[in-house]
Structure 1
Amino acid sequence: MAEPDSLIAQLRRVPLASLRVFEAAGRTGSFVQAAQEIGVSASAVSHSIRKLEDLIEVALFERTTREVNLTAPGRALLEYVQRGLDEMHRGLALIKSDEPRPLRLHTAPSFGMQWLMPRLARFVAAHPDVDLRFSASTDYAQFDNDDFDLDVVYGEPRSALHEKVPLAMEHLSPMCSPALAGTLRTPQDLYQQRLIQCDVQMLQWKGWFEANRLVAPRHYALRFDRSSMAIAAAVNGMGVVLESSLLAQHELESGALVAPFRGMTHDIQYVGHYLVYPRRRTRHQAVEVFKKWLLDELSVGRCASPG
């Protein structure tokens, strides 16, 4: 196996034209079709690929008298070469376009709806030159496909390939409408209430009861798969929800929700959301603009949080 330094030197000698020929042959599965596409002879395609194989010391195709097929290393390389060529085409299109490159943001749905949307107008007003594209789903952004520049995810990302920035320390505490709060005197009163639970939340009612040395109920009257729906149910007086001070910050500040046991019981504290982006030498300039704005807004929110 080649040493790292010699391998790097070896890769630097690979002509871009050879990779273009390899991509066409690998995609079409035919030296003849690749030759017609590129505008050279089939023998020139064969010679170029053979030279590439000799240079990197890896067989990329299995050849028979009737056909050529990619080897396993050839299939792996084709994926990366196609991705690299796509990036170059995208870069060329970008510098020739008069339109600014959009900032493509992906978020977890409840963070996007509960925390980001009420504040997004401030970012748009402060940075009118940023063309923001906003999407929300429970799936993580696939940066390899270049679909997004930034992702706000729920739960700590496992991938070591991306940068991850913890956003805020969140407090989970029981919350309800002011009218319902008037009927609650002690934590034991929760046993007579509808307890609203978000099933995708990392920490739930059982953990809160245990943290406060109370027996957890076995039944929960209302369960949702989005924090935004669980919070809305509590605002409408449907029960008591265990929710994040970050996601319910707007409702707490407006008085639509209150935390009746704040200071009387132990909140569960955890980092729930992370800002994630790929490790690249060059990034969209607006990435740093949005990142700074986001962290500044979170800092203001921490100072203004009730309780």
Structure 2
Amino acid sequence: MKLPPLKSLPVFEAVARLNSFSRAAEELSVSQSAVSHQIKQLETFLGEPLFERHGRSLALTRGGQDYLEGISSALVQIDRATGQLLGRQDSSLRLAVFSSFAVRWLVPRLPDLHRQHPEIQLILEMTGEHPVLSGRVADSFITINTDSPAYSYDLLYRERLFPVCSRQYWQALEGNVLTPENMAEHTLLSTFSIYNRTCGDWEAWFAEADMGIPATAQVQHFSHMLLALEAARYHQGIALTNDYMLSNRDDAGDFVRLPLHSVVTGDSFYFAIKASRRQEPGLRSLRNWLLARAIDSGLLDDKPVINGNAGNRKENE
């Protein structure tokens, strides 16, 4: 077994994560020259540079990126195994998740996670479009991206969109027969990012009824589903939303789901972790808790699908 200078590995990880020799030195409570020495020693052992230095600018080389990816999870596993042997009970886990899923579904349920698993210290990271599944980003993900064969995936939710409005707006509609044809008489609140095009959500909804958006439709545009839903809350029109946005929230009663059809977007949300880490106690507990809450809240039936195929969502949530 040919191992590198082991003291240099956490130093390399800190420099790569902080993108700075001086900040890494401060975090590790050593001198900057000691950090430079450890990096030089590791580069000499590997026979290639790990960083590109241009004046004060610092960046990982391609080899450095690959090496960081390989050692990051190993360092985490060493830390966790050591902590377990020493009797350390806490488990700090990073979960990367779309902001709307976090705000509307996950965060309200965190007190239950803390009650059931006080040993888990969950750190939430917001993800954007197709987040890179990497240990450098997070320990686990809620994502629609199932491209990496190194990861294991558990289905949490298959998305569908349906129209909602505020109770006050609904009172003005009561007595009217709502049909796709006369929806254009009301302001439609559209989320750009679901299909990554203007009116993409309402186009899909009307297409389900074999029609296009009526030319007379008044559409108000928003970049994010959270914004469109807030506009609906304040009586500004009818929005398309999904199940997790209204699932068991205290404010779900502010909205009325209109007696009209829904449309399946083709996107599925998965809990993703590296297959090699699937049996770690903290990640296993988090996975089981998420699946149980998805079932309780109606997002998922009681037969979870593992390693399914996700859709093509482009929402920057």
Q: TM-score, normalised by structure 2?
A: 0.65
**2:154 corresponds to 1:165:** yes
- The answer to which structure has the higher helix fraction is 1
Q: Give the alignment partner of residue 128 of structure 1, picking from 78, 99, 118.
A: 118
Q: Give the alignment partner of residue 234 of structure 1, picking from 232, 235, 241.
A: 232
Question: What secondary structure is seen at the aligned counterpart in 1 of 2:232?
Answer: helix
**2:176 corresponds to 1:178:** no
Aligned CA distance change for structure 1 residues 260 and 288 (closer, same or farther; 3 Å):
same
* Whole-angstrom CA distance in 1 between matches of 2:135 and 2:265: 35
Aligned residue for 1:206?
203
Q: What value does the CA root-mean-square deviation take over the aligned residues?
A: 4.0
Question: What secondary structure is seen at the aligned counterpart in 2 of 1:261?
Answer: coil
**2:259 corresponds to 1:261:** yes
Larger Rg: 1
Q: Give, in angstroms, the shift of residue 92 of structure 1.
A: 5.0
Q: Give, in angstroms, the shift of residue 247 of structure 1.
A: 1.9
Q: Deviations over 1:20-45 (max 9, x none)?
A: 99xx9xx9xxxxx9xx947xxx9xx9
* Whole-angstrom CA distance in 2 between matches of 1:254 and 1:87: 39
Q: Percent identity?
A: 17
Q: Give, in angstroms, the shift of residue 85 of structure 1.
A: 4.9
Is 2:93–2:120's contact at 8 Å kept on the other side of the alignment? yes
Question: What secondary structure is seen at the aligned counterpart in 1 of 2:94?
Answer: strand
Q: Deviations over 1:53-103 (max 9, x none)?
A: xxxxxxx669xxxxxxxxxxxx75554445545555555555268573302
Q: Give, in angstroms, the shift of residue 107 of structure 1.
A: 0.7
**2:187 corresponds to 1:194:** yes
1:1-307 equivalences in 2 (<5 Å) = 15-17=2-4, 37=37, 78-85=64-71, 89-91=75-77, 93-94=79-80, 95=82, 100-153=90-143, 155-182=144-171, 183=173, 184-187=176-179, 188-202=181-195, 204-217=201-214, 220-250=218-248, 254-262=252-260, 265=261, 267-268=263-264, 270-281=266-277, 284-302=280-298
Letter in 2 for 1:146: R
| Alignment size in residue pairs | 253
* Whole-angstrom CA distance in 2 between matches of 1:128 and 1:230: 35
* Whole-angstrom CA distance in 2 between matches of 1:242 and 1:135: 26
Q: Give, in angstroms, the shift of residue 158 of structure 1.
A: 3.1
Q: Which of structures 1 and 2 has the larger relative contact order (alpha carbons within 8 angstroms, sep 6+)? A: 2
* Whole-angstrom CA distance in 1 between matches of 2:65 and 2:265: 43
Q: TM-score, normalised by structure 1?
A: 0.67
* Whole-angstrom CA distance in 2 between matches of 1:235 and 1:249: 15
Aligned residue for 2:313?
none
Q: Deviations over 1:131-180 (max 9, x none)?
A: 11122232555453434111112x44333332222212333111111232
* Whole-angstrom CA distance in 2 between matches of 1:252 and 1:215: 35
Letter in 2 for 1:162: Y
Letter in 2 for 1:212: A
Aligned residue for 1:56?
none
Letter in 1 for 2:102: G
* Whole-angstrom CA distance in 2 between matches of 1:211 and 1:252: 31
Is 1:109–1:137's contact at 8 Å kept on the other side of the alignment? yes
Question: What secondary structure is seen at the aligned counterpart in 2 of 1:237?
Answer: coil
Aligned CA distance change for structure 1 residues 268 and 93 (closer, same or farther; 3 Å):
closer
Is 1:166–1:275's contact at 8 Å kept on the other side of the alignment? yes
Letter in 1 for 2:170: A
Is 2:98–2:128's contact at 8 Å kept on the other side of the alignment? yes
Aligned CA distance change for structure 1 residues 16 and 240 (closer, same or farther; 3 Å):
same
Is 1:115–1:247's contact at 8 Å kept on the other side of the alignment? yes
* Whole-angstrom CA distance in 1 between matches of 2:237 and 2:177: 15
Q: Give, in angstroms, the shift of residue 268 of structure 1.
A: 3.4
* Whole-angstrom CA distance in 1 between matches of 2:133 and 2:168: 46
